[in-house]
Amino acid sequence: MIYAQIKSGHKLHLALEGGEVDREGVRIERGMLSHPLCGQRMTEPNYRMTINVPLANACRKCRAIAAKQ
């Protein structure tokens, strides 16, 4: 799992990385990232950036979902 930002200045969402399995049992392809865990729509074709450390402005819904997994 990795923190990912869709647009500059927006909060970070959590996404699954290649090899991880989502809640429907679908494995994410190698080199790919899932959509945000909270269901936020992607307005861009790709994430602007990804980061391993949680920053203060990470999405609460994503964190709550991740905590249950």
What are the residues binding Zn ion (CB under 5 A)?
13, 36, 38, 40, 59, 61-62
With beta carbons less than 8 A apart as the criterion, state whether 47 and 8 touch.
Answer: no
Closer to Zn ion at the Cβ: 16 or 62?
62
18/39 with CB nearer Zn ion = 39
The maximal CA–CA distance of the chain, rounded, in angstroms, is 32
Q: How far is the CB of 39 from Zn ion (least distance, A)?
A: 8
Least spacing, CB of residue 13 vs Zn ion, in Å: 3
Sheet holding 2-5, edge to edge: 12-15, 2-5, 49-51
